Amino acid sequence: MTEKPQPGAPALEKGLDLLEALAGAARGMSQKQLAERVGRSVGEIFRMLVALERRGYVARDPATGEYTLTLKLFRIASQFPPTERLLKAALPVMEQLASRVQLSCHLTVLHGEQFMVIARIEPEWLMGWSVKVGAVFPLTQQYASAKVLAAFQLEGRREELA
Region 80-161: CATH code: 3.30.450.40
* CATH architecture observed for domain 10-74: Orthogonal Bundle (1.10)
pLDDT of residue 125: 79
User: Are both 10-74 and 80-161 of the same fold?
Assistant: no
CA angle centred on 14, ends 9 and 20, rounded to 5°: 120
Per residue in 69-91, pLDDT (tens digit) is 999 988 888 777 888 889 999 99
Q: CB atoms < 10 A from the CB of 117, how many?
A: 19
Length of the chain counted residue by residue? 162
pLDDT of residue 2: 57
Domains of the chain, residue spans: 10-74, 80-161
At residue 56 the predicted structure's pLDDT band, cuts being 50, 70 and 90, is very high
Q: Is the pTM of this model over 0.85?
A: no
